[in-house]
Structure 1
């Protein structure tokens, strides 16, 4: 009689089936329960806050490296990490479940942020500007229209009833939200790619998709005349390579784990691409940048509360309106550093409230419905 251990080693579909064993060649896989990705994303959110402080206090663009300021590099990091995680989510879930999770993660907290800006931030600024709320609900862009026009992630109106005004960066309550539309388009792109079996069976189709995205960005000047210099296409072309760079790391994750040796190689290749290639080097470096961030998450200490509570999204969507409201009250006179500190202190309670009251409950409800 064949014993159970021998049968389990031979039968397809069992844990011992050689076809189901990880193909890891070196390095360790990312431990989903023991990493500091939440903390890294929070740091990236605060980098965006700091970068925006320069604009909001009227101090220029801030530090710029290879055509991107700190906020641009932070967004690239966000997209790289998302590309890794979201690709894993798509490949492990049915399309309907995947889309439900993506909508639950990004849309509800976004809508609440729109309402908070229209019902709290804008009225305060309008009162400061006019010494009353007379005309607030009828002045273009009306509060109701600011919500309705922007509720599908595409930001059409940045002001609310002519506020904020009298500040160094007038007419925009939230200069961070525009990226969410393009991030969701990346979610849809991976949703489509995940319907083709060959994207799951081999890593090379994803590599081809990434290379194509870099080629489009590198040749954007030649493409622009055919799309009438469409701004949305240009922004998407700029960001998709960073997202697919993270996806490339994910599809190779069973073969190439996270290690200091891999991080060293990734750092060298990223530096070579960024420093050596004008115009598209940043995008070409995307997989290596994503690998570095993932590797850092395996050893960077993270506060335990942050490991289990992802407040980075709330920090990202509320930082800009908080900064603008501070500016309305004249805080931009404090200078970049003190202004940034004040904005950080004022933003975090809103970020925590967003996580505890909106994001976490909605995500739990979405998981229960699967």
Structure 2
């Protein structure tokens, strides 16, 4: 049976198109959050019986893609230094620039009256801003967007970037431990993470437990950050799933019957069995890669003029908050999405051509794969 991954034409794929679509889905999801200040009307939140939102759905797939592409990047790296250089040059320039844009453009425009611009500047803790930027966290800026349905958040999309970088560190750690020397070890890691997520999901979401699986065995410092630990274990599943697909890329068969089976499982877990996020990292990942490596879907040159997915993800939230502030409820939730995308696309293009692309040229070899959330 033909393998899912085309060995000779693996570079001809639909990753670029998929990332742009996923980034746009995140912006669409955030339209409901920013417009309503809640998830009550978010489509997938309602359809899935409050399991996940469209944004979470997209981010999970971003991490699947990232697990595949970053494993490939590690294979092609000459050393630890070259690997981390590629990863840092892909994430940090765009991230630093959007944080500066938030501090010096979006936040001043969105400051809460009667705060003056002078009062805004004097209230910024620039050391704290620099620290949060270097640690890939959302900047906290004073007196901004406090009158909106989702108040005070300058860029709620940035939360996932630090988790993705943690996953990047996982790859060389696995290499040092010799996990990549045998394919079965990668599969074992995936099964362990899968088991933790299944138990966590059952105890934490369905059983009402207050702490995740095995939490009492962890150090007190980690226990003090239970939400972060839970988020990390959830995001590790799609990332390691992508790693596993890369490791077994020549052995996973291409079958429309497996696509149909996967679709059935996804529908069942979405509507009735409440395990959709777990199923998405296995069955959803198969459907995703079936599309990405489908030679009949020729979207291989989608990013010919630029890879805008990271920029769409980075600038979606601050633009939406600004549009919400000035347009209010006059345009509706779908109007908020459409108007915001008209502004977001030029921002993403500027980010790519002036920031991301020039820094990627610092690599001696071709540009590193785009981060998956990073592709929120």
> TM-score by structure 2 length?
0.82
**What residue number does 2:309 align with?**
312
Cα 1:273–1:60 change in 2 (3 A) is closer
Structure (1 or 2) with the larger CA radius of gyration: 1
**What residue number does 2:285 align with?**
290
Q: Does 1:136 align with 2:120?
A: yes
- Report the Cα offset of residue 79 of structure 1: 0.4
| Preserved contact between residue 146 and residue 160 of structure 1 (Cα < 8 Å) | no
- Report the Cα offset of residue 132 of structure 1: 3.5
Q: Any runs of at least 4 consecutive aligned residues in structure 1 with deviations exceeding 6 A, and if so which?
A: none
Cα 1:143–1:354 change in 2 (3 A) is farther
Cα 1:146–1:292 change in 2 (3 A) is farther
Q: Does 1:330 align with 2:315?
A: no
| 1:72-118 residue CA offsets vs partner (Å, 9 max, x unmatched) | 10000100111111111113322221111111111111000000111
| Preserved contact between residue 137 and residue 161 of structure 1 (Cα < 8 Å) | no
> 1:208 & 1:164 partners in 2: Cα distance?
46
| Preserved contact between residue 196 and residue 213 of structure 2 (Cα < 8 Å) | no
| 1:294-333 residue CA offsets vs partner (Å, 9 max, x unmatched) | 2212344438452452110000010000001111213443
Cα 1:122–1:315 change in 2 (3 A) is same
**What residue number does 2:166 align with?**
185
RMSD: 2.6
Cα 1:305–1:143 change in 2 (3 A) is farther
- Gaps of at least 5 residues in structure 2 are 201-211, 218-222, 368-376
> 2:356 & 2:253 partners in 1: Cα distance?
31
Cα 1:262–1:174 change in 2 (3 A) is same
Cα 1:74–1:135 change in 2 (3 A) is same
**What residue number does 2:373 align with?**
none
| Preserved contact between residue 36 and residue 307 of structure 1 (Cα < 8 Å) | no
Size of the aligned set, in residue pairs, is: 341
> 1:272 & 1:90 partners in 2: Cα distance?
36
3-state DSSP of counterpart to 1:329: helix
Matches within 5 A, 1:1-370: 26-29=3-6, 31-58=9-36, 60-61=38-39, 62-63=42-43, 64=45, 65=48, 67-93=51-77, 94-126=79-111, 129-130=113-114, 132-139=116-123, 142=124, 144-145=126-127, 147-155=129-137, 158-197=139-178, 199-220=179-200, 221-226=212-217, 227-228=223-224, 230-271=226-267, 277-278=273-274, 280-297=275-292, 298=294, 299-302=296-299, 304-307=301-304, 309-367=306-364
Higher RCO (CA < 8 A, seq sep 6+): 2
- Report the Cα offset of residue 42 of structure 1: 0.7
Cα 1:258–1:97 change in 2 (3 A) is farther
- Report the Cα offset of residue 358 of structure 1: 1.2
> 2:300 & 2:12 partners in 1: Cα distance?
12
| 1:114-168 residue CA offsets vs partner (Å, 9 max, x unmatched) | 0011111111122x733731211122xx16246313213442x654121122111
> TM-score by structure 1 length?
0.83
